[in-house]
Amino acid sequence: MGKRPMTVRVARWSAEHPWRAIALWVVFVAVCFVGGSAAGLKEATDEDEAIGEAGRASVIEIAGNFDEYATENVLITAPSGQLDRAAADAAAADAVTRMRATEGVASVADPVLARDGSAVLVAITMTGDADTASDRLAPLQATTTSLQQAHPDVRVEEVGGPSIDKALDDTLGDDFKRAELLSLPVTLLILIVAFGALIAAGVPVLLAMSSVFAAMGLSTLASHLLPSTDTTNSVILLIGLAVGVDYSLFYIRREREERAKGRGHLDAVEIAAETSGHAVVVSGIAVMIAMAGLFLATDVVFSSLAVGSILVVAVSVIGSLTVLPAILAKLGRWVDRPRVPLLWRLSARRSGAPKFWPAVLRPALRHPLMTLLVSVGLLLALAVPALGMKMKFPGMEDLPRTTPAMQAYDRLTAAFPSNGTVHFVAVQAPASKADDVKAALTDLASRAGGDPLFAPVEAGGPEIQVSADRTVSTLEVATPYASRADEARESLDKLRDQLIPSALGTLSGVEYAVGGDVAGSVDYAEHIRGKLPLVMGFVMLLTFLVMALTFRSVVVALTSILLNLLSVAASYGLLVLVFQGTWAEGLLGFTSMESIVTWLPLFLFVVLFGLSMDYHVFVVSRIREAVRRGVPNKEAVAYGITSSAGVVTSAAIVMVAVFSIFATLSTIDMKQLGIGLAAAILLDATIIRAVVLPSAMTLLGKANWWAPKFLRERPAPRHADTSEEPRELVGVR
């Protein structure tokens, strides 16, 4: 008989010792989660996140060791029409007096009148750590409320970095909590429909969530080697729920099929381990390889996401191979209890001879060339808009305007443009040249202030900061345009290419860089464009090797790569079509930024390339089973598609539902991520797997399984079921 595969040996042991396997899993999850909590999270610093010239500007500023302080503002404007100067001046004077007596205030500046007379601004410097200032706003906000009550003839608002951060944290925190809370019941509901039984539906969710908790703990531990970011846990939940449910779904469906044929519980588990368990391992390796490509981006954010994703996929695979067989063996037929009457009958009917999918497959099997050309042509047409993809970071103008803080920010930047989009100039030079650097920066600010691309210098002249050791000097140069506007980019180019070299180019031993939101967006987009081909090449090469070794076929491996590329390209095109235009704004509830978020194309590529392998491996494994039993190629393709259609459809619906929930979040980057992933998975599970794949494999025939001698097919597996001929598919020939 030969040595049984590892997946079978592990599953057999777990099934024969279920309580031990379950106890070991519980201990493993608990140790990971508690150990991670005890070790604490090491977050990425500004130095870790530095990219391009904007990153160098941040590093230079950090080297200056400036005292960091948080600033807030009291903004006084007219509720409507012209501002009443007398009422505004009275409110401003009262604001200065009250704020100076408020807890947490270090100093209060004199009121400043806007150039157009539309507003009065009172700047406030807060005490304490700038990073935690948003947690100490209550006394200032209470004072602002009392000011508004005392001066009803004007609008009195508080606005600044800390208040905006707090408002956004509250909004986004509520968003993510809602998404996380909705994900579980939606997933459970879909699985109840798929299985028709509550326990069978609950097992995948339980396994997925335990894998997520374990991975979060491991990720926290790993942060001491590779710093983490605040998005890592959200991605762990997103990926973990998707793959964890998928892997359990594949396994449970196969075990149920084998029991339906009359096999005992242990034999059914063993066959599921040899077939679906093997597919889970291959799929997991493919997903982890794709995620590992993120390391090549040399970006701490992507590295953190790679660590979290790889860990949750690895834990999900381990759980599917160990504790899942134990649970299924212990439950036995109780896994199909309690049954939901109508849904159970539908589930049982779906387990019989399929009718819908043979009809869908008929064109691909009877006219493979025409079907392939039409379907690929449609997907390529959908991908065409991707050629015009623009990449930018979202700016302040893209944040939700539902909070008073953001509405006040709009009024602030309208009246005082220098408080809006700014370029940050950082200069490092010997202390002996500090005066020369300051003079050059003063001249730079003066020349920029006279250019329409930049905001005029406010009264009192430019604010130039010099470090205590006089080696670092900084200057903010404002532009009246939104951070992602073309004029903002033009002002950055003019600053970098003309104004700064002219002002500082004659000074020797001087290092300078321009940072800020605009510079960060431009530099990061260039960074991503440079890294994307490297990441794509790495992922495709290693995925090709894994698929070739798994299926013992170069053609299957190459087809896998091409189909995934087609799926990704179509999703890119759809993303551009939806988000770079304005036609879908009302439909999906967003305001177009006329570009795609900078980090999304690279992240979307690796996630889609990995998750698409879930379906591909599972479907091709079924086709290969039939081929190894001697079933003709066309019938084998039909059998593989139809026998896996139910589980692939259920898994895809789960993913689409979870990703669509994330598309309901307030920020444009989460909307683009959710829509991009949901649409791509939907395309992949339908057109790619049900039309393009069968037509391609039917057209290729025996050539599907060509390989060099060292990759040739091995003997059929011990549990090959020669009695399971796809007789019900004769009609598709």
- pLDDT of the residue at 724: 43
- pLDDT of the residue at 730: 38
- pLDDT of the residue at 33: 92
The contacts of residue 377 (CB under 8 Å, 6+ apart) are: none
The contacts of residue 6 (CB under 8 Å, 6+ apart) are: none
- pLDDT of the residue at 357: 75
Question: Mean per-residue pLDDT for 540-556?
Answer: 90
- pLDDT of the residue at 615: 80
pTM above 0.75, yes or no: yes
**197 vs 316, residue with greater confidence:** 316
Measured distance CA(700)–CA(678) in Å, rounded:
30
Q: What is the DSSP string of 571-608?
A: HHHHHHHHHSSSTTHHHHT----SSEETTHHHHHHHHH
Q: Could you tell me which of 239, 265, 283, 394 has the C-alpha nearest to residue 326?
A: 265
pLDDT one-digit tens code per residue, 286-315:
889 989 999 999 888 899 999 999 999 999
Average pLDDT of the chain to the nearest whole number: 85
pLDDT one-digit tens code per residue, 83-113:
999 999 999 999 999 999 999 999 999 998 8
Q: Inform me whether the pLDDT recorded for 516 exceeds 70.
A: yes
Structure-block tokens of residue 567: 């799926």
3-state secondary structure labels for all residues of 160-211: EHHHHHHHHHHHHHHHHHHHHHHHHHHHHHHHHHHHCEHHHHHHHHHHHHHH
Q: Inform me whether the pLDDT recorded for 263 exceeds 90.
A: no
- pLDDT of the residue at 617: 86
Per-residue pLDDT band at 726 (split at 50, 70, 90): very low
Q: Inform me whether the pLDDT recorded for 379 exceeds 90.
A: yes
Most confident of 189-198, 683-692, 714-723: 683-692
Q: What is the DSSP string of 223-254?
A: TTTS-B-TTHHHHHHHHHHHHHHHHHHHHHHH
- pLDDT of the residue at 128: 86
Question: Mean per-residue pLDDT for 198-213?
Answer: 90
- pLDDT of the residue at 720: 43
Q: Inform me whether the pLDDT recorded for 227 exceeds 60.
A: yes
pLDDT one-digit tens code per residue, 706-725:
888 877 765 544 444 434 44
Share of the chain above pLDDT 90, in %: 33
**394 vs 460, residue with greater confidence:** 394
Question: Mean per-residue pLDDT for 650-676?
Answer: 84
Scanning 120-160, the segments in alpha helix (DSSP H) are 138-150
- pLDDT of the residue at 460: 63
- List the end-to-end C-alpha distance of the chain, in Å, as a whole number: 35
Structure-block tokens of residue 87: 């009422």
Residue 76, classed as helix, strand or coil, is: strand
Structure-block tokens of residue 261: 């044929």
pLDDT one-digit tens code per residue, 416-425:
876 778 899 9
Question: Mean per-residue pLDDT for 369-394?
Answer: 92
**556, 704 Cβ separation under 8 angstroms:** yes
Per-residue pLDDT band at 1 (split at 50, 70, 90): very low
pLDDT one-digit tens code per residue, 602-613:
988 998 888 887
Q: Inform me whether the pLDDT recorded for 339 exceeds 60.
A: yes
Q: Could you tell me which of 613, 12, 97, 542 has the C-alpha nearest to residue 268?
A: 12
Measured distance CA(525)–CA(70) in Å, rounded:
29
Question: Mean per-residue pLDDT for 532-538?
Answer: 92
Query: Measured at the alpha carbon of residue 198, what is the angle toward residues 15 and 608, in degrees to the nearest 5?
Result: 80
